[in-house]
Chains A and B, each alone.
Chain A
C-alpha cells in the first residue's frame, strides 16, 4: 500500500487531473455537441481549438524541419545531438494537431474526404495535404529511434539501411512541406479581408506566418532540450543551445522588419497607437515575441546561462502564441461584434491533448535513444548517419 502511495507524486496528480478534465471535455464534445462543449458561434466559428491547438501546435513544431535541414543539408554537425529531440517534438506536435482535428471538425469521421474530394482553389485543401504528408515524413524521420529497439537484427538493419538511403530526401521533402504548411496557415486568413483587424490582415500573411514559426519552433526546441537536461538526466552541451539562440535574434529582426514595412505599406500602421484592445494586444505580442527577446538575447549573460536562455525562449513562444490567438480570435471581435471566451471544456481538451503529448515525450526520452544521457558514456550520436 505504501508502495502504491509513494507513486502518487505531485506531477502525476496534476497530469491525472488534466487528463480527467480532458476526458470530460471529450464526453461533452461527442455526446453533447459543440453547443454544450464550446462557446463557438457563427461569429466565431474557429476558436481556441484552431487558434491554440492547430496554429500554435504547428508553429511550435517548426523546430524539427529547421534543425534537421541544418544538420543533414547544411552540414551543421554540432547541432546533431539535438536533431532527435527536435524531430520528436515536431512529430508529437503534429500528432496533437491531428488528434485536435478529431474534436474540432464537426464530422471527424469524414476526415479522409480531402484525399478523394479535391478543391485546389482551397487553401485549407493544401493545408490538409501538408498535414497528411508532413506527419508521414515526420513519423519516418523519427522511426529509427523505435526500429533500433526491434530485437531481430536482420529486420532492424535492413530498415535502418533503407532509412539511411532515403534520409536526405526525407529531410528535403520535409523542409519544403513544413514551410508550405506554415505559410498556408497564414494563407487561410487571406479570405478574411475586411473582417480581420488591419493590424494583422496582410496579403503577406503566409510569409509572416512562416517567418514567425521558425524562431518560435527553435525556441521551443531549446526549451525542451533545457528541460531534458534539468529533469531527464540528459547531457546536451549547453553551448549548442547558446549557439542555436544566436540564430533566433536575427530571425526575429527579419520578422520585425518585414512586419513593420508591411504595416506601413498597407496602411495598418494608422492603428498602431490607437487606444483600443487590438492595439494593446498587438504591442503585447510584439513585446513578448520581438522586443524583449531581442534585448535579452543581445546579452552574453542571458545567452550563456541555460536557465536565463530558457526563460527568454519561453517569452518568444508566448509572444508567438499571442500572435496566433490574435489572428484567430481577438482580431475578429470588432467585425463580428461577438466577444468569445472559450468554455472550460475547450481549454481542458486542448490541455489534455498537449499533456498526453508531454507524457509521450517523457517516455520516449526515457526509453529510447533521443538525447545523449549522463549514464551511457559511449552514446552514438546518430546510428543512421554513421554508416
Chain B
C-alpha cells in the first residue's frame, strides 16, 4: 500500500529459484534471483547438490591410485586434473619427467582444451537459441574425441597421465592422424566461427550482456577466459610454462576488452586456433626417448601445483607425510573462483539473459563441488 502511494506502477520484489534443474544447466546449480519486474537486482548461489567429498577420499587412497580418482573430478577436463596432480607429486618427489612425456602431455592437454571449448560453444549457442550452431560445434568436437580415442584409447577419461610420465606413446601414424584432424577442425571452424563472431542475432544476445570490468574481474578473483574476456592477460601456460609449454613458446594470452558475454566467448573461440598451433608444434618437435620413469619412495612435504585448465586456473595443494597416503589434498577449480565474478555480472540484467550469463563462465559444477 505504501508503494502504491508513491508510484502509479509499484515495483515489487520477487525471489525465484533458478535451478538446480534448468534446461540450460547440464549440472545442478541454484541461483536465488531477486527480481524487480524482469530485472535482476541480486543473486545468491546455492550449491551442494553433487558434493562428493573427493578431497577426503583422496586421503584414503594410495597416492598413485589418486591419479585416476583426481581425473574424475571433472568429466570434461579430466586429463588436466590428472596432469596437474602428477606435476605436483613429481615436484614433491623431485622426479624428472622425460621430455617426450612432457610433449605428449601438451598434445593431450590441448586436445582436451579444444574439445572443452567446442563443447562450451555448442552449449552457449543452445542457451541463446541457435540449435543448428550447437549441433555444428558438437559435430566438430566429435573429431577431437575420435582422435583422443585413437591415441589414448578413450574419448574423455584418457587415464594416460601417470606420476613420472605418461602410460602410452604415439607412433608416426598417430602423429599424422592428429595433424590431419587438427587441420580439418580448423577448416570446419572457418565456416562456423564467422556466425558466432558476426551474426546479428548472436550479437544481440551477447554484446553488452553480463559485463565484468577488468578491475572487478581482478578484485573478485576471476580466472581463465572469464578474466581474459575482461582484458586481463593471465595464462599459466605462459607464466609458469609447465610440461613442455615453456619450450614450445608462443602462448600469448588471448584477451578481449569488452568484458561481456561476447568477449568471453570470442576468447574461447580464438583459443581454439592457439591450441591447434600448439598441438602442431608439439607433434612436429616431439623428441625421442622413453615416456616414463620409475617412481620410488613416497611424497613428503607440501606443494602447490597450478596450471591453465580450459576454464582457467586450477590449483591443487598436496601435502604428503612420507606414507602412501596423502595428509591433505585440496582442489580449487576455476569455476569455484568464477562464482564471485558471476554474482557481479547478474545484477541489472534481464531475467531472459540469466542463462546466457551463467553459461558464459562455462560453469562446471562437478569440478566446483568435487
Mutual binders A and B: no
**Residues in B lying within 8 Å of A, measured CB to CB:** none
